[in-house]
Amino acid sequence: MNAKVETPSRLDHLKWLVVFAIIAVGVVGNSYYAGESLLYRVLALVFLAAVAAGIALTTQRGAAFREMLKEARVELRKVVWPTRVETGQTTAIVIVVVLIVALILWALDSLFAWIIASLIG
C-alpha cells in the first residue's frame, strides 16, 4: 500500500476532463445516431470506451488502479483452489442443508397455520 499522498497535476485534471468529454460524446452520439445500425453504434461506443479507459489509465489514479490490479493478480495466484471432488462434496452438503432447513420451515409454517386455524375456528 502506498503511504505517500500525491496531489494530481493539472495535466491529470485535463486528462479526466477529456475522459468525461469522450464519454459525453459517446452518450450524445448514441442518441443522435439512434436510427443507425446497432452494430455500428456499439462498435463506436466500445472504441470510445477503450480510448477513454486508455487516457484514464495514464493519470495518477489510473496508475494506482493498474498497480492494485497487479497486486490482486499476485494474490490470486496464491489462492489454493478446491479440487473438483471437494467442490462436489461442498455443493452436496449445501443442498442437503438447504433441504433440511426448507423442511423445518415448512413444518413450522404448517404448525402455525394449524394453531391459527384452531384459534379462529
Domain segments of the chain as ranges: 1-79, 82-121
Dig out the grid coordinates for 17 from the structure.
Answer: 476532463
CA distances 56 to 2, 5, 59, 69, 108, Å, are 20, 19, 6, 15, 56
Q: State the pLDDT at residue 74.
A: 95
Is residue 1 pLDDT above 60, yes or no?
no
At a CB cut-off of 8 Å and minimum separation 6, what does 27 contact?
none
pTM, rounded to two decimals: 0.57
pLDDT digits (tens, 9 = 90+) for 15-51: 999 999 999 999 999 999 999 999 999 999 999 999 9
